[in-house]
A and B are shown apart, each in its own frame.
Chain A
Amino acid sequence: MLKRSFFSSLIILYFAFVLAPLFLMLLGSFGEKWFGTLLPTGFTLDWYSQLFGKAMYVRAMLMSLWVAALTVLFNALVSIPAVYAIHVSGSRKLRTVFDFCMLLPIAIPPVVMGLGLIQAFNWSGFSLVGRWQLLLGAHVVYTLPFMMRPLMSNIEMIRWSLLEEACLSLGVSFGTMVRRVLVPNLLPGLLSGALMTFAMSLGEFQLAVMVTGSATQTFPVVLYQAFYVNTGFACAATTLLVLVSLMALTGIVLFGRSFSSSISDINL
């Protein structure tokens, strides 16, 4: 009994630790003033109207969504052929290289990568630093393993090489095979990879703060700058960011469920 209550209080503590900051942010986003008091005082919707009213913030939000969406797209375009090639080749060597590459973004801190990018793409007369394309490239490289990994386990789980042999023996062309068999059967891996990389790109701060310029700032960068100037506004911005992430997550989970139920609709 004692043991049980000990563990449940641990769980409660854990959730308090995770959720309390979010709750405070939500509270702060509606507070007029939050200075020197435990909780904010007053009630206002001003911060939210600023959030949507000021072109700079809207632009940062759109920039974040744009980069995140393109990150997912490029990840998919690179990962599907790569995973397919590694699987079909059946080469143990390639697989080892793959496993090694999957560890790189964990081993190399983003700050190192950011500095490297600035060094590499900043020439006199022409510089990529400050452009969103550079941030996109950085995000694709940074998040690629998180798209590749679920796709790799997906393609292994469905035993793709057998399905490919079946297609070949039926005389199905390569294009039809990719469109009608490969991609549909990789959707679960693609979805979980997309969710992961979208969320990572949306919230990524270290690379963004280093390689974006004033015209291409993403939302986390703006949020960070606002925090020192205006707490209430920063709270509203955070709340919005969390909300967008949650929406993306729910959407993908719902889509994933309707997809998987169409293939797993068990009524034996």
Chain B
Amino acid sequence: MMGPERSVGVALEGIGKRYGSAWAVRDISLSVGAGEFLSIVGPSGCGKTTLLRLVAGFVRPDEGTVRLGEQPVNDVPVRERRVGLVFQNYALFPNMTLYENVAFGLKAQNRSATEVRRRTSDLLEMVGMADRAQSYPRQLSGGQQQRIALARALAVEPRVLLLDEPLSALDAKVRNSLRFEIKRIQRDSGITMIYVTHDQEEALSISDRVALMRKGALEQVGTPIELYSDPCSLFAADFIGVSNLLKGESDGEGGFLWKGHRFILETPVERGPASLMIRPERLFLAPEGVAGANVIEALVQGRVFLGPITRFSCNVEGEPLLLDLLNVAGAGLKVGERVRLHFEPSDSCVLQDLKETVPEGVN
């Protein structure tokens, strides 16, 4: 009943695509393992959707090779690539019932009637929509439509499933639950998924690996933990999660100079201007009387309640610094209070690309 191969990896080798004289993506080399869940994140216009369309076959690369498994597919039309697609706007066929939507691709493959019936019901079952089989798309909520779109794409047993911002049109609650459902389906079916999103939190929470893109190029590729705790650039540090970026200077002997402080680094870095990144939850209140190298005096200026944590904005000689504290009994600071903040050398990270313009929103 199965096609020849269940799920294959995807390899992009030196991919470039130009529109007119502008490169939408350039010099992209990336490989996705069979059965892997890879997210592509980045700000809008960074080329992530173009990359997905290159894999799908809607866009032909001007440079480089796209491979599905071992097979180069530059010249293989979309219809023959056996690559599934899930769109932001669902793109269900409005004239067909949910059952017909899911069965459509199978019928087009000339599968036997019993197999079409069985697979369609299985998939409707899998996405929890079996009881709505005879409804029409317009009778469903966005989340339900996206479940059907997922079932429709998986029905024909694609070798890779590509998802283009599948949850962006949904409200926060549905987005959250459907995100983990997609992850579950991916794990159960073992299919390779490439998932494009502009929501870094979404990407971190469900991916095996995340590829961060910027201006048509790959900025950093790694596991969610690598991207979060060890960003390779100011841009990466800013885009993934929330961070404090202190602009200062490395003294080349394991110290980082900032506003008269000398912070101890985990490993020495080359002398020169750099930024020190500290995540707000990696800052702690220093116990009374402790005086160490990595202690900063600050003034609490504002607070934002975020449920499990409260985010305090502190001021250190005119520079803002964010501090996250868990909302446990006895915790919490008053606005106007003076505090002493402390961080471990291993919780900071030096970024040396000060030449680049600091992206918007950097603290």
Q: A residues engaging B (CB < 8 A)?
A: 158-159, 162-163, 165-166, 168-173, 176, 180-181, 184-185, 263-268
Q: Is B274 at the interface (CB under 8 A from chain A)? A: no
Q: What are the residues of chain B within 8 A of A180 when measuring CB–CB?
A: 104
Interchain CB contact under 8 A, A263 and B136: yes
Q: Point out the residue from A165, A168, A185, A267 that lies within 8 Å of B93, measured CB to CB.
A: A185
B105 adjacent to A264 (CB under 8 Å)? no
Shortest C-beta distance, B5 to chain A (Å), equals 15
**Neighbour of A166 across the interface among B85, B95, B138, CB < 8 A:** B85
B258 within 8 A of A: no
| In-complex Cβ contact of B139 among A171, A176, A185, A265 (8 A) | A265
Q: Which of A166, A176, A181 contacts B87 (CB 8 A)?
A: A166
B337 at interface by CB-CB < 8 Å? no
> What 0/1 readout, one digit per residue, does chain B (90-116) give for beta carbons within 8 Å of chain A?
011111000000001100110000000
Given contacts A162-B91, A165-B85, contact A268 B104 (CB under 8 A): no
A181 x B93 contact (CB < 8 A)? yes
B92 (CB) vs chain A CBs: closest residue: A166
Q: Judging by beta carbons under 8 Å apart, are B139 and A266 in contact?
A: yes
16 other contacts beyond A159-B91, A165-B58, with CB at 8 A cut-off?
A158-B94, A162-B89, A163-B93, A165-B56, A166-B85, A169-B56, A169-B78, A169-B153, A170-B156, A171-B80, A171-B82, A171-B109, A185-B95, A263-B136, A265-B136, A265-B139
- Are B91 and A163 interface neighbours, CB within 8 A? yes
Segment 214-273 of B: residues with Cβ below 8 Å from A: none
B17 at the interface (CB under 8 A from A): no
A-B pairs, top 3 by smallest CB distance, nearest first, are A170-B105, A169-B85, A184-B95
Smallest Cβ distance from B358 to chain A, in angstroms?
37
Q: Return A229 CB to nearest CB of chain B, in Å.
A: 52
Chain B residues whose CB sits within 8 angstroms of the CB of A168 once the complex forms: 57-58, 77-79
Complexed CA–CA distance, A185 and B94 (Å): 7
A168 to B77, CA, bound (A): 9
Contact of B83 among A162, A169, A264, A266 (CB under 8 A): A169
Q: Give CA–CA (A263, B136) in the complex, Å.
A: 6
Q: Is the CB of B95 within 8 A of A162?
A: no
Say how far B236's CB is from chain A's closest CB, in angstroms: 31
How many Å from the CB of B310 to the closest CB on chain A?
40
A69 to B95, CA, bound (A): 26
Q: Using known A-B contacts A170-B152, A267-B139, determine if residue A159 contacts B95 with beta carbons closer than 8 Å.
A: no
- By the criterion CB–CB under 8 Å, are B104 and A172 in contact? yes
13 cross-chain CB contacts under 8 A = A159-B89, A159-B91, A162-B89, A165-B87, A166-B92, A168-B78, A169-B78, A169-B84, A171-B79, A171-B80, A172-B104, A184-B95, A266-B138
Specify which chain A residues have a CB less than 8 angstroms from the CB of B91 in the assembled complex: 159, 162-163, 165-166
In the complex, are the beta carbons of A172 and B93 less than 8 A apart? Answer: no
Min CB gap B107→A, angstroms: 8
Given the contacts A165-B87, A169-B84, A263 and B78 also touching, CB distance less than 8 Å: no
Does B85 contact A263, Cβ atoms closer than 8 Å? no
CA distance A171 to B91 in the complex (A): 15
- Chain A hits for B85, CB < 8 A: 165-166, 169
Residue of B nearest to A184 (CB): B95
A171 touches B156 (CB 8 A): yes
State in angstroms the CA–CA spacing of A180 and B103 once bound together: 13
Alpha-carbon distance between A199 and B56 when the two chains are bound, in angstroms: 46
B82 proximity list for chain A (CB < 8 A): 171
B152 adjacent to A264 (CB under 8 Å)? no
Closest B residue by C-beta to A177? B108
By a CB distance below 8 angstroms, the chain A residues around B89 are 159, 162
Instruction: Give A264 to B92 CA distance when docked, in angstroms.
Output: 14
Question: With A and B bound together, what is the CA distance between A268 and B140 in angstroms?
Answer: 8
Task: Find chain A residues with CB under 8 A from B77 CB.
Answer: 168
> Which residue of the partner chain A has the closest CB to B56?
A169
Least Cβ distance of B94 to chain A in Å?
Answer: 6
Given A162-B89, A184-B95, A185-B93, A170 contacting B138 (CB threshold 8 A): no
| Whole-angstrom CA separation of A159 from B139 in the bound complex | 18
Shortest Cβ distance from residue A88 to the other chain B in the assembled complex, whole angstroms: 12
B117–chain A nearest beta-carbon distance, Å: 17
